[in-house]
Structure formats: C-alpha cells, structure tokens
Amino acid sequence: MNIKTIATSPFSDQKPGTSGLRKKVPVFQQAHYLENFVQSIFDSIRAPTGATLVLGGDGRYYNRQAIQVILKMAAANGYGKVLVGRGGILSTPAASCVIRKYQTFGGIILSASHNPGGPTEDFGIKFNSSNGGPATETVTEAIYATSKTIKQYRILEAADVAIDTLGSSRLGEMTVEMIDPVADYAGLMESLFDFAAIRELLAGGFNIRFDAMHAVNGPYALEILHRRLGAPAASIMNAVPLEDFGGGHPDPNLTYAHDLVEIMYGANAPDFGAASDGDGDRNMILGKHFFVTPSDSLALLAANATLAPAYKKGLAGVARSMPTSAAVDRVAQALNIPCFETPTGWKFFGNLMDAGKVTLCGEESFGTGSDHVREKDGLWAVLFWLNILAARKQPVEQIVREHWATYGRNFYSRYDYEGLPTEAANGVMQHLRDSFAILPGKTFGNYTVQLCDDFSYADPVDGSVSNKQGVRLIFTDGSRIVFRLSGTGTEGATLRIYLEAFEANAARHQLDAQQALAELVRIALEVAELQQRTGRDKPTVIT
Ligand code: G1P
Ligand code: ZN
C-alpha cells in the first residue's frame, strides 16, 4: 500500500456556506483545493479507524473525478469501507437514506444543488453526519478552522476505482462497495406512502408530469413513478441526467422550470405537475393552471398528513425556516402541536427531528421533508402530494383553496437580486441594521412597524446560538418583510427579500400574490434604499 503524505498550504476561502462548500469548478480544479477540504473534513470529524462512509453526488461535471480523489483519501485516512452510489451518483435525500439505513459514520455528498453545472459552473461538497443530516455549525466551523491551518493531506497512490458496476472491490485496506443508487431510497418511499392508492389514481386517467430537469432525479422518478406506480414513461421529462443539466438551471421554480410551467398552464394541461432540482432535494408542485407556493405546500402536507400511512398517527411537531410563511404555524395551532422557527438551511432541523420534536419541516425555497431522512426530499414531497390527491380525489387547486378557506391565506413571495457587488449588498444590510432604532412605530401606508431585528436562534436541543440570521420587519398585523444575504451563491452577493401578508377574508383569497403584496414590496424597496444602493430596479428572480 502506498500512502502518500502531501505537503500543502491553506486556502483562505474554504468556509462552508448554507449547505457545504460551493465554488466554481475551476476553483476546485486548483492543485490541492479539493484534497485540502476533504482532509479538513476527515481531521475534524475524527472517525474511528475502520469506519464506514457513504459517498455520492448529483452527477454534475467534476463529480466523477472528485469521487476518485475522495476514495483514495478515505483509504489513506483509515476508513474501512465506503458505500458509493453506482457511477458516483446519489441524490441528496438518497444519500441521507443510505447513511441512516446502514448506520454509517456519515457521508460526503457532492453537489451544488440547484446551481448550474459544467466546466465553468458550480461544484460543491458537504459532510453529513451519522443521522443522515448536514453537519451542524459546530462541525462546519471546525472544518473551516482546519482548512485555514492545514499543512498536509494523505492519499493512496492507486489506480482509479471502477465506479460503474455494482459490487465490492478493495482500495488499499479499504472496501469500496458500489451500490444501486435508487433501490434503498425507492424502498423507503414505498414504506411511507399508499402506493396502491396512487397506482389506482394514475391508472384512472389522472395525468401527471414530472420534470427531472436533466438532473439526478431522472432515474429515481423512472423507477418510482413509472415502474412502481405505473405513470407513463413519457410523463417524466428531461429524465436523462447530464453533467451540465443540458445547460439549464436545475432549480424547480416558475422561472427556471419553464418547460414544465408552459405545459401546466397550456391547453390540455395535466392534473398534476412537479419538478425537482440538481440533487433531488427541492420540489415544485403545480396543479392544472395553478402554482402551489412551497410555504402553502408545507402547511397543506401538515394539515393532510394523516392521509399518508407513515403519518397516520399524527405529527409530533412541525418546523419552518424563519423566512418561510407562517401558513404552517396556523395548521400547527389547529392541530395543537408545536411549531419551531429556525434559521435558513436544513441543518437546523436535524436536532429537532433527532429529539423527536418535529415530524415535518420545510422552507420557502422549495424544500420540504420529514423525519424519514435528514435532508429535504423532492420526490418524497411529490409522492406525499399524490397520496393526498389519491385520498381526497379533488383537483390540486380545490384542495389549496379549501385550505385557505379554513386557515386563511398567507400571501407570499420572494424577490432575489443576484450577482450584486458584495459591498453594495453588505451596505443594504448594514443600512437596515442601522435603522433598527428608528423603524419601530413608523407607519408606511397601511402598515405600521411593530418590531425590527436580526433573527437569532437558540437551538432548543443543544443550546447553540446562531446570530444574524436575517433582518426582520414585522408589522402590527403580522405581515413581514425579511432581508437576507444568500449563503449558497458563488458569484458576488445575492440579496433575498421575503414578503408575507396574512389575509383571513376568503373574498380576497383569489387575489394574485403580487397584487396582494404590492404595497409591502414598495415598503421593502424604500426601507432598504435598494435602488440607490445597488442600482437595480428589478429583481433577477421572483418566486
Ligand atoms: C438557499 C435557500 C435555503 C436552502 C439552501 C440550500 O440558501 O434559501 O432555504 O436551505 O439554499 O438548498 P441561501 O442561498 O438563501 O443561503
Ligand atoms: Zn438541492
């Protein structure tokens, strides 16, 4: 066995963001860059000798090369076994599922989620712990600290591992086991939902369309929706995963999943449409000519959870990220279960689920999930919806409208300003923070500011505190404007403005969200001095 210790020097930019380290591919291709980060992970997590890891990614450009490097480094760092999705593929929820099912020490997931892929686009890497969820901030901070002082890494000198066939092989003293990337996950889904009822729904002329966006979920959707549930293969679009996602932006929203949106808003639209992102953890849900906001989707899943076999005994509690609308809070109140408000990012849900405090959770950013894994889960959300549709036998739009009639409607939208100069974006946030003292009590049109602060979160399980998690402007009627800078972008800064207004009056529920939120949008732009400070008069994306 030829283990090499290679001298290296630190890179200053290896701080994990909202979901791991994300950079452009050429950054990762610099000599020692990937190796430094992987060694920093290994040095920080201190796995016992002989431990098992899971390894896989969303198949984007550089995935295959990175798999080889990580395998050789794992072998040189004393790991006993690595379970690898065939071809180096595992969707993020499938990786979480495999880590949990085989009780491994953790896993390394290669993905930049919904960001574009290709030789000059994004790549990413993150570590998930033995619960299957993203490493906590304590761990990611330790990784960052290590990356700043790293002097050497260890790697096995060996030929590349054949990653396209199932089965075991040896790499030095370590076993590499290539596993089917879909089987464990598909089995888990079948154990949660009423597949017989969904099969019957689909056989009865209920038409669906799923857009895999040339990303990792294509094979998962074909196995589950087509082979196990009987949907025609043609109902899965863009099913072939590509290293550059066909040049698209694999983010399931109204802007980037436009092929699907056109079909769902066209003549003879299917009854149900859905899409997932690059690594399969996000979802967008559509009915015929109808868009379900992710915040509403979470609330609706919570309200209808007992229709799915996995949740028929009810929910322990629910959680949402702070910028996500409070629609789910209303359901929790009606069900008399706790509702937790966490900072943005999935890693904050893990502790709550491990402690049994929460069953369902979600984010406005097209992420929903439950305690079946410790990641958000795109296809799971699609199956949950299909299960509800099979049980209720009503169109998507009617189910949502009935939900609003029962609980009221939380009008919601997010404005993203991408690629801003970092100083301008920081300037907006600083200006808002400087206004904390003068804003409370101030009236803008129909709205009066009640509270204005920087959200901070004390984890109820481990007591850790996360500060500066977004600036909130809360108005006396409960409406909110939230400002935050993205922690996943790789170019300049992205400012996100989240807008929410509650409407109890059913007569106003048919309003268009942009209409209902127009005044809040004006207030947000005024308070932030957005145009003066950034020169932008329009957001890049509205969701
Ligand atoms: C974004 C979303 C956040 C999500 C994350 C990973 O992070 O806003 O909800 O958890 O992607 O998918 P952001 O870029 O806002 O930091
Ligand atoms: Zn994702």
**pLDDT tens for each residue of 114-130:** 999 999 999 999 999 99
- Ligand 1 touching residue 346 (CB < 6 A): yes
How far is the C-alpha of 538 from the C-alpha of 48, rounded, in Å?
52
For residue 484, the ligand closest to its alpha carbon is 1
Containing 179, the helix (H) or strand (E) segment is strand 174-179
CATH number among 3.50.50.60, 3.30.310.50, 3.40.50.300, 1.10.760.10, domain 409-542? 3.30.310.50
Range(s) for CATH 3.40.120.10 in the chain? Answer: 3-181, 185-407
Classify domain 3-181 by CATH number.
Answer: 3.40.120.10
| Ligand 1 proximity of 363 Cβ (cutoff 6 Å) | yes
487 lines ligand 1 (CB under 6 A): yes
- pLDDT digit string, tens, across residues 394-443: 999 999 999 999 999 999 999 999 999 999 999 999 999 999 999 999 99
467 Cα: distance to centroid of ligand 1 (angstroms) = 17
Distance CA 127, CA 158 (A): 24
Determine whether 17 is exposed, middle or buried from the number of CB atoms within 10 Å of its CB (0-12, 13-18, 19+).
Answer: middle
CATH architecture of 185-407: 3-Layer(aba) Sandwich (3.40)
Residue 50 neighbours by CB distance under 10 Å: 12
- 255-290 pLDDT per residue, tens: 899 999 999 999 999 999 999 999 999 999 999 999
For range 21-31, the mean pLDDT = 97
Q: Which ligand is nearest to the CA of 134?
A: 1
For residue 340, how far is its CA from the centre of ligand 2 (angstroms)? 22
Phi, psi of 445 (to 5 degrees): 50, -120
Distances (CA, A) of 129 to 86, 137, 347, 404, 437: 21, 12, 10, 38, 41
Atom of ligand 1 nearest to the CA of 346: 10
The active-site residue, picked from 40, 113, 321, 479, is: 113
Asked if the model's pLDDT at residue 489 lies above 80, the reply is no
Question: What's the rounded Cα separation, in Å, for the pair 357 and 97?
Answer: 20
* Among the listed residues 481, 485, 501, 503, the one whose alpha carbon sits nearest the alpha carbon of residue 493: 485
Could you tell me if the CB of 365 is within 6 A of ligand 1?
Answer: yes
The answer to whether the beta carbons of residues 19 and 345 sit under 8 Å apart is yes
pLDDT, tens digit, 9 for 90 and up, residues 342-388 = 999 888 899 999 999 999 999 999 999 999 999 999 999 999 999 99
Q: Give distance in angstroms: CA of 166 to centre of ligand 2.
A: 26
What average pLDDT score do residues 213-226 get? 97
414 CA to centre of ligand 1 in angstroms: 12
* pTM value surpassing 0.85: yes
> By alpha-carbon position, which residue is closest to atom 4 of ligand 1?
345
Looking at residue 487, its pLDDT comes to 83
* Known catalytic residue at 113: yes
d(CA 16, CA 349): 18
The one-letter code for the residue type at 80 is G
Identify which of 126, 322, 365, 469 to mutate to test ligand 1's pocket (most ligand atoms within 8 A of the CB): 365
